[in-house]
Amino acid sequence: MNYALNLHDYQYNGFEPGFSRYSKKEEVFRDLITVVKETRKVIDAYYSKYEIKEILEKIDELLKELTK
């Protein structure tokens, strides 16, 4: 499923029936967390030779805050 595209649609349409696959904030939040986690995996996998430790730490802090 394309979480990022669904979140993009939600950004413009909100909970408008017929335009958004979301009907609850919890669904939006769940998919947002999924996108952040998957983005972290991609950064770690493809950019590990660069100085990314600080970026990964910031993402981990964000995930910790989001999943409280």
Per the CB < 8 A criterion, the answer to whether 20 and 5 are in contact is no
**38 located within any domain:** yes
pLDDT digits (tens, 9 = 90+) for 50-63: 889 999 999 999 99
The domain tally of the chain equals 1
Amino acid at position 14, single letter = G
pLDDT digits (tens, 9 = 90+) for 6-51: 999 999 999 988 888 999 999 999 999 999 999 999 999 999 888 8
**4 located within any domain:** no
pTM of the model: 0.81
Please give the backbone phi and psi of residue 2, each rounded to the nearest 5 degrees, phi first: -95, 85
Containing domain of residue 60, as a range?
A: 25-68
Class of residue 52 by CB neighbours under 10 A (exposed 0-12, middle 13-18, buried 19+): middle
**53 located within any domain:** yes
**11 located within any domain:** no
